[in-house]
C-alpha cells in the first residue's frame, strides 16, 4: 500500500508498506481521509523533546506512519471484534492514518454520521473529542471564552459550547473572524486589534499562551480554566511549563485550573455524531491535501494559517 513513512524525526516521504493485519479488538480500515492536527506535527518533528521522554520514541517515532484522525471503510475484522462489520463506514483514531490502509482499535471508532463526507468525518475525532471533553459540565447561560476559536479544537469548542446553551465569545486573528462568527460565537474578538475583556465562567484555551494570571483575572471566582494547549518555540517543553504551573496552583485557588489530556474514545465520537446529525456541530474544513502532499498539510497546520481543520484525502 502507499503510505507516508517517517523513519526518523523531521522527515517523511511517500513509500510502499505491507498492508497491516488487525489484531485483537482491531479492524483493518480502507482509509478514505485522515485529519491533520498539531499532534501530527509534534510526532513528525519530535518537538517538544518532552514527548520523546514520555514514550513516543526517543530516537525516532514509534509509529512508522504518521496520522491519527481517520475515516474509512472496515475491510477486515480482527479477533474479538463485535459491533462492527466489514463494509461499515467509520471514523475515529488510529496510529498511521496517512496510508491507504490502517489498523484501528474498535474502542476508538464510531459509525460515520451519514450527513458527513469522509473528508468531513476525518476532521472530527481528535479536535472535536478534545473540545467535548473540555466543555462537559457547561450549563445554559454560562459565559464561555474560546481562545484559538478559529483553529481545530476551538472551532468545535465554539459550536459545542453553543449547543450546551452557553454565551460564547471567540478570540482569533483577523482572517478567522468570519468563520468564528459563522460557527455561532455571539461575540468575536480579533486579538490583533484589541484583546478580550470581561469575565467568564469557563475559558477554553487553545492558543495564544497568555499567562495564568491574565487568564485567571478573566475568570469568575468559581470559574474554570481548561488548558488544552498553546505552542511556544521553546524546544524542551514547548509551552507545557504553564500547564505544570497550573497543576501546582490548582489546589490553592478557588478557580478550577484544568490541564486537559484528552482521551481517544469511540463513545465520544458517537456523542459528537449525534450533535452532528442534529445540525448543532459541523466540521469546518479549511483545505484538503492529497496523500502525496501530506507533509505540506502538516506544515500548513504548523504555521497556523488554517481556519478550522485540514484533511488529507486518500
Residues that bind ligand NAP (CB under 6 A): 37-39, 126-127, 130, 147-148, 150-154, 171-173, 176, 191, 206-208, 228-231, 260-262, 304, 306
Shortest spacing between CB 38 and ligand NAP, in angstroms: 3
C-beta of 20 vs 157, nearer to ligand NAP: 157
Distance CA 26, CA 202 (A): 37
> Minimal distance in Å, beta carbon 150 to ligand NAP?
5
Considering the complex, state which of residue 44 and residue 126 has its C-beta at the smaller distance from ligand NAP.
126
Q: How far is the CB of 244 from ligand NAP (least distance, A)?
A: 13
Nearer to ligand NAP, 71 or 127 (CB): 127
Instruction: Determine the Cα–Cα distance for residues 251 and 253; give it in Å rounded to an integer.
Output: 6
Nearer to ligand NAP, 44 or 228 (CB): 228
Question: Closer CB to ligand NAP, residue 77 or residue 155?
Answer: 155
Q: Grid coordinates representing 11?
A: 522527515
CB of 173 to ligand NAP, least distance (A): 3
* Between 166 and 307, CB nearer to ligand NAP: 307
| For ligand NAP, the closer CB: 3 or 228 | 228
CA distance 13 to 160: 36
As measured in angstroms, the least distance from the Cβ of 307 to ligand NAP is 7
Least distance from ligand NAP to the Cβ atom of residue 46, Å: 14
3-state secondary structure the chain: CEEEEEEECCEEEEEECCCCCCCCCEEEEEEEEEEECHHHHHHHHCCCCHHHHHHHCCCCCCCCCCCCEEEEEEEEECCCCCCCCCCCEEEEECCCCCECEEEEEHHHEEECCCCCCHHHHHCCHHHHHHHHHHHCCCCCCCEEEEECCCCHHHHHHHHHHHHCCCEEEEEECHHHHHHHHHHCCCEEEECCCCCCCCCEEEEEECCCCCCHHHHHHCEEEEEEEEECCCCCCCCCCCCHHHHHHHHHHHHHCCCEEEECCCCCCHHHHHHHHHHHHCCCCCCCEEEEEEHHHHHHHHHHHHCCCCCCEEEEEC
How near is the Cβ of 303 to ligand NAP at its closest, in Å?
A: 9
State in angstroms the smallest separation of the CB of 68 from ligand NAP: 10
> 85 or 267: whose CB is closer to ligand NAP?
267
**Cβ 109 to ligand NAP shortest distance, Å:** 18
Distance CA 168, CA 188 (A): 9
Q: Give the whole-angstrom CA distance, residue 88 versus residue 120.
A: 17
Q: CB–CB of 191/304 below 8 Å?
A: no
* Beta carbon nearer to ligand NAP, 35 or 113: 35
Amino acid at each position: 500500500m502507499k503510505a507516508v513513512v517517517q523513519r526518523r524525526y523531521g522527515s517523511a516521504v511517500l513509500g510502499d508498506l505491507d498492508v497491516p493485519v488487525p489484531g485483537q479488538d482491531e479492524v483493518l480500515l480502507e482509509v478514505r481521509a485522515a485529519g491533520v492536527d498539531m499532534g501530527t506535527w509534534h510526532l513528525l518533528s519530535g518537538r517538544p523533546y518532552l514527548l520523546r521522554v514520555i514514550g513516543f520514541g526517543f530516537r525516532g517515532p514509534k509509529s512508522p506512519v504518521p496520522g491519527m484522525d481517520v475515516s474509512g471503510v472496515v475491510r477486515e475484522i480482527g479477533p474479538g471484534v463485535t459491533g462492527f462489520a466489514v463494509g461499515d463506514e467509520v471514523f475515529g483514531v488510529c496510529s498511521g492514518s496517512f496510508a491507504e490502509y490502517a489498523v484501528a482499535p474498535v474502542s476508538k471508532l464510531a459509525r460515520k454520521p451519514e450527513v458527513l463526507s469522509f473528508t468531513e468525518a476525518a476532521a472530527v475525532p481528535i479536535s472535536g473529542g478534545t473540545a467535548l471533553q473540555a466543555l462537559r459540565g457547561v450549563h445554559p447561560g454560562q459565559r464561555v471564552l474560546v481562545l484559538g476559536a478559529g483553529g481545530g479544537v476551538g472551532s468545535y469548542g465554539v459550536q459545542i459550547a453553543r449547543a450546551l446553551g452557553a454565551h460564547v465569545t471567540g478570540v482569533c486573528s483577523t482572517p478567522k473572524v468570519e468563520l468564528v462568527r459563522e460557527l455561532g460565537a455571539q461575540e468575536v474578538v480579533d486579538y490583533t486589534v484589541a484583546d478580550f475583556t470581561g469575565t467568564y465562567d469557563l475559558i477554553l484555551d487553545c492558543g495564544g499562551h497568555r499567562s495564568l494570571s491574565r487568564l485567571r483575572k478573566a475568570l469568575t471566582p468559581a470559574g474554570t480554566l481548561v488548558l488544552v494547549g498553546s505552542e511556544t518555540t521553546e524546544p524542551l517543553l514547548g509551552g507545557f511549563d504553564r500547564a505544570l504551573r497550573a497543576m501546582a496552583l490548582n489546589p490553592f485557588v478557588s478557580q478550577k485550573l484544568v490541564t486537559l489530556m484528552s482521551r481517544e474514545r469511540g463513545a465520544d465520537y458517537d456523542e459528537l455524531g449525534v450533535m452532528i446529525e442534529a445540525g448543532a456541530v459541523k466540521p469546518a474544513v479549511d483545505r484538503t491535501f492529497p496523500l502525496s502532499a501530506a507533509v505540506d498539510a502538516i506544515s500548513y497546520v504548523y504555521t497556523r494559517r488554517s481556519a478550522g481543520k485540514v484533511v488529507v484525502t486518500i
